[in-house]
Structure 1
Amino acid sequence: MLDKLMAAQQKADEVKKRLDAISVYGEVEGGKIRITATANKVITAIDIDDELHQNAEKEELEELLLTAINKALVQADQVNAAEMQSMAKDMLGGMGGLFGN
């Protein structure tokens, strides 16, 4: 049983590494603001169109940034959930012996 738990921890570590390598994006205003994040919800880049940056009011820019960040985080959640579901399915398939099957 300890072997199964250690294998599960190793699998979880592998999934975390995979999620660190997956990029997700949040865009607003037709891509004038683009947020890049990992599927582990780490923001890795913020790109703001120069014209928008110069012409937008502070409050508008802040609101657009929040929207783009939240879109990226929603995508990260979706990818994360899919990876965790896949991991759980793999683990449950391999745990038949744990329950005497």
Structure 2
Amino acid sequence: MFDKLMAAQHKAEEIKKRLDTVSVFAEVENGAIKVTATANKAITDIAIDPDFYAQADREEIQELLQTAINKVLEQAENVSAAEMQSATKDMLGGLGGMFGA
């Protein structure tokens, strides 16, 4: 039983490492602001089109940046949840033998 729990913990650590290598993207205003993050929800890049930046006001940029960040974090959450769900299904399948199922 202990071995299976250790294997499950190891699998979770592998997933976390893999999610660090998966990038998700979001953009607003037809690409005027683009945000990139890992599937572990770490923002890795923010790009603002120079022409858009020159003509937009501060409040507009802040609002759109917030929208883009929320979008990319939602995508990261979806990828992370899908990976964890898949791993959980695999782990539960392996743990089923422990309980005679």
> TM-score range, shorter-chain basis?
over 0.9
The question of 1:92 aligning with 2:78 is answered no
Aligned to 1:83: 83
Partner of 1:64: 64
Give the distance between the partners of 2:50 and 2:43, measured in 1 at CA: 20
- 2: CA distance between counterparts of 1:98 and 1:31? 51
Q: Which amino acid aligns with 1:6?
A: M
- Matched to 2:28, the amino acid is V
Q: Which runs of 5+ in 1 are unaligned?
A: none
| Residue identity in the other structure for 2:11 | K
One-letter code of the match for 1:89?
K
Q: TM-score, normalised by structure 2?
A: 0.97
Partner SS, residue 47 of structure 2: strand
TM-fit CA distance, 1:100: 2.0
Which residue of the partner structure matches residue 36 of structure 1? 36
Letter in 1 for 2:17: K
Count of residues in correspondence between the two structures: 101
Q: 1:8 offset after TM fit, Å?
A: 0.5
- TM-score, normalization: structure 1? 0.97
Aligned residues with identical type, % of pairs? 64
4+ aligned runs moved over 4 Å, structure 1: none
Q: Does 1:48 align with 2:70?
A: no
Aligned to 1:15: 15
SS at match of 1:71: helix
Aligned-pair Cα RMSD in Å: 0.7
Q: Which consecutive unaligned segments of at least 5 residues does structure 2 have? A: none
